[in-house]
Structure formats: C-alpha cells, structure tokens
Chains A and B, each alone.
Chain A
C-alpha cells in the first residue's frame, strides 16, 4: 500500500467542563489514501465533526486535542504552532461545512473571497488569481462564471452557493477536503448534483475526501471506505460494500438493518432499542454494550480494539481471536 495521505492515530478530543473532563473523541485511528473518499457515518453527537475539526486544528476552545497524532504525508501536524496549521488549512487540506447559506461572507463578492484565498496560498497576482477563480467556478458548474464572479452570495441559490464553497475549498489545489455534512442542508434534488460534482472533482483533481455524513445513501454512492463512529469511537471501518452489505459490528448491523432504502439516514436508528450514551456516562468496556444484542461479560469490562472481521475491522469482542476459534 502507498503511504497514506492522512493518518490519524489514537486521536482524543476533550472538553474540560465544571463536572470534569468530557472525552468526545476517544482513540480514533484511520488512514486516508491519496484520492480516496472515506465516508464517516454515525448518529448525531458521535464525534464526527469534532474529528474533522481536530484534523485541521479548528476545535473551538475549550475543546482540545488531548492525545494521539495527526499525520499528513507522514508529518505530524497536530503539534504545529497555530501559524503552521493555518498555512496547511486551505492549501493542503480544504474544508466544506454543512450550510452553504452561511459559509460565505455576505458582504464580499464571491470573486473577492475566491481571489483572496487563491492569492493567499499561491502568490499569484490579482489578474492571474481572477482567471483561476473563473476557471474554478466553471469547474464547479457555475453558469456564466465571468459575470457571476462579481455577484454577492445572496444572489446565489443554496446549491449554487455550495458549489462556490467547493470552489473555495479547491482554490489552492489541496490534497484533502474534509466535507462535514456538505449536502444535509440542501434540497434532495440538489444533493445528488453536489455529490456527483464532488465525485468528479475528487477524480479530476486527485483530491481525497473525508466525507462526514449521516446519510447512508450518500456514502453508498460516493465513498471507497467507511468508518462508522459511535460515542466518540470507531465501531467499524472497511470497504464501503462490506460495511453496508456485510457489516460485522452489531451496531453497524443495526444501522444497516434500519435503512431499507438508500435514502434513509442514520439519524433514525429504529432497529436497536435505546440511544447513544451522553458523554457524561459512557459505559465502561464496549460503549455499545447496554444496547448490544450479543453482549457478554468481557464487553462490560474491557474496551475492544479494532479487530479484523473478514474485510472490515470491527471494535467488537465477537471477533477476538480466541472467540473466533470457538465460534
């Protein structure tokens, strides 16, 4: 395997609060290969956004990275000074947020925002940057880009704004884009267009995408691999076909069982009784154990590592070597 583009090792994100320290992301590890789309799914509050924010150093205080490493092409970036991280943001790792309506500064022309970003990272002069901005807008499918570049965000529809946001994320040709629920705020018809666009951009610009969503349909259509998060941990990770079609972790199985169609979302997890624990009372051992139909003694005391289960890795004691032997 080639060297991973991004590598997360045992990442931990904490919030100091009056009632003690809350661990919102707890020992998360995964790799993203160059040009790969990694889907990250999980219920609301599972820690997906925090993982994304931690990678590019945008955790809002008092949230902080309390452990682990983030490596970009083998180099640690989590311990860089703020200025070092800033240089990576936008230049090597782009980010797209959920709501295109609020992601753009309402008082600046979209061209100004694009040119600012391009010039910042590439050192182009104003005319070159403007040409590039127009090319980017054409690339993301904004019609009449030469004219629209001087328009203000309010003059665009939601879908068009998300295209502009994508153009901004691509402005300096990053190697990775972290897209946090990029289609959740959009109309269903527009969602498909944006997803198709992201797939094409990913291919043509050879940019990897960490695609955070709770929409399994989006994942099924876009991702190469999927990581399923639960209570700040990864429950299962593997190729998209296997995680969707042959899940091994009981939580993933419940998740997949609860979506008869590809348009259903992981937000509504009806198959498994109970709900994800709050950060203040995550059970010891396997975080899923109070809801798990297969729970046994070990699950309540010892936290499971990611264990190989056919083509995926599942954080579940059912796949421990000794148990598999007997099963």
Chain B
C-alpha cells in the first residue's frame, strides 16, 4: 500500500520534472531573455552584467536546479510584459480558474455518474437511449462550439445569462469568488456547462459501459441467486465495482479540465489562468508560460496521486 502510493508520488515528481525541463528550456531557446529585460538602450556591458547577474553563464544543470528551486518556493521570476512577479499574476488568476474547474469537474462527475448508471439500468429505455445519442454529440463536438452555441442560445437569444466575464466577485483574503453574488453565479453557469460537458459525456459513457459489464459478472449473478433485491445489487454491489476502473480514468480526465479551461476561458473571456496563458503566448512572455506549464503539471500530478489514493480506498485487493 505504502509502496503503491510512493510509486504514484514518484511518478508525479517525474512528470513535474519533465515539464519543468520543457518550461526551463523555453527560456533558453525561445526568445532572448536579456533582450526582453534589458530594453533597447542598454549597452553591451549592461547586457553582459545582466547575463552574469541572472546566472545565464552557469552550466545548464546548475541553471535548471536553480529554476526548480525557485519554482518550488513559488518564485517564477518577473513577467516580461507586465513587469510584475509571475507568482502575483498567477495568484490573481488562480481563483477564477479553480472555481471554474472544480465546479465543472463536480458537475461532470455527479451528473456523468448519475446518467451513466441510469443509462445502464434502463438499457432499453427511450430516455436512456436518447441520452446516449446526445452524449455522442458531447464527445464529438469541440468545446468552443458548445460554448458558442450556449452563448447564442442563453445569452443572445434568451438573454438569461451573461456571455463573458465573472460578474461581481467578493474578496476573501487574497481569494476572489463569484459564488457569493448573483451576477457571479450567473456568470459561472455557461462556462461550467461548456467546460464540464465533454467530461460529463465521457464519464457517463464509461460508467454505463463498466456498469453493464459488472452486471454480467458471476458475483452479481450469485447476489441475485441469494435473493438480494435488484436495486441493492445495482447500487451496492455493482456500482462499487464499476467505480474501480471509472475512478482511474475520471481522475485523469478531471486533471485535464484545467488544461481544457484554456479554450473555455478564451470563449467566455474568463479572467483565469488559461486566458493569462493565451495572452502570454501572444507576447512570448516566457516566465508566465513556464509558470503556467508548471502549474498544470502540478495539478495533473496531484490529481493523479489523489486518484490512486481513492483507488486504494475502494479496492481492498490493492491495500495490503
């Protein structure tokens, strides 16, 4: 059990290191940090001095180690474009993205599992089959199209919901939340639906398939032979077994919600990390891009670790 978690932790660390290497390489191979920082009127001497001060003359491993050490302490340098600490920029944008991602994940998870179980139990039902057909759309339609479609329907035609921004937010310490105001909550609806829809359909189809598979197993048959009521078999015996494979894949999917948020944030002009990243790419703001990549890698690793942990809780066979 400990070994299992350690392995998972190690994998996470490797992922972060690998992404860290990519992020760090960008500094060296994309653009010229000295040119970006020193400005037009700098002399060669200024540049040489700056190069030395930034440690750019040190061997590669030393520079990489320094980069990682700084990153670990939350120091990602100064934004080329905004001339402010990247950490501050991230902290400003983090609440918007996390709120969006967590709500989307929750929405996808809860509704996805509920619909998946429903579709499996009522395999031949009209509603279940309708839901399955709809889910095909969700799987095949690009996120931005869904977003634009939702905007057209609910913001342009019906005028029920805003089409961009976070609405009014409330500050709680350094955190900002849209959940406490009316406009904030309304603003969340469309982005959350958009971001969660793809995951939802994926989770739903997966849960349905796994549940149907589980309902054909010998132990479900044996549970029936013992006279266990069908509902109890479905929701106690089968659902738990269904969750074993589902948790793994869902865990990976939820990690990618953060990555998918880029598109959704762009469509809805959501002031989150994704939008920050897109901006940074436009202006080749390497420190911001690097920090964002590191952040995504960290989220992936963390979610992955959490997934393995939940896996252990569900399946006793892995626990000893």
Contact (Cβ within 8 A) B227 A97: no
Q: Which residues of B contact A95 (CB under 8 A)?
A: 222, 225-226
Contact (Cβ within 8 A) A58 B224: yes
Q: Which residues of B contact A105 (CB under 8 A)?
A: 219, 223, 237, 241
Total contacts A to B, CB within 8 angstroms? 76
Q: Which residues of A contact B241 (CB under 8 A)?
A: 105-107
Tell me what chain B mostly uses at the interface: helix, strand, loop, or mixed.
helix
Q: Which residues of A contact B317 (CB under 8 A)?
A: 106, 152, 154
Contact of B222 among A82, A86, A165, A172 (CB under 8 A): A165
- Give CA–CA (A89, B229) in the complex, Å: 10
Contact (Cβ within 8 A) B316 A152: yes
**With an 8 A cutoff between CB atoms, is A248 at the interface?**
no
Interface size on A, residues (CB 8 A): 32
- Give CA–CA (A108, B238) in the complex, Å: 11
**CB nearest to B240 among chain A residues:** A107
Contact of B227 among A104, A108, A121 (CB under 8 A): A121
- Give CA–CA (A120, B232) in the complex, Å: 11
Contact of B219 among A82, A106, A152 (CB under 8 A): A106
- Given A152-B316, A152-B317, does the pair A103, B218 have CB atoms closer than 8 Å? yes
Q: Which residues of A contact B221 (CB under 8 A)?
A: 58, 97
**With an 8 A cutoff between CB atoms, is B244 at the interface?**
yes
**With an 8 A cutoff between CB atoms, is A168 at the interface?**
yes
Q: For window 33-70 of chain B, which residues contact chain A by CB distance below 8 Å?
A: none
The residues of B with any CB-CB pair to A shorter than 8 Å are 217-219, 221-230, 237, 240-241, 244, 314-317
Given A94-B225, A120-B228, 16 more pairs with CB closer than 8 A: A56-B225, A58-B224, A58-B225, A89-B225, A89-B226, A91-B227, A97-B225, A99-B218, A103-B218, A103-B222, A107-B314, A108-B237, A120-B226, A120-B227, A120-B229, A152-B316
The residues of A with any CB-CB pair to B shorter than 8 Å are 56, 58, 82, 86-91, 94-95, 97, 99, 102-109, 116-117, 120-121, 152, 154, 165, 168-169, 171-172
Q: 3 closest Cβ contacts across the A-B interface? A: A90-B227, A95-B225, A102-B218
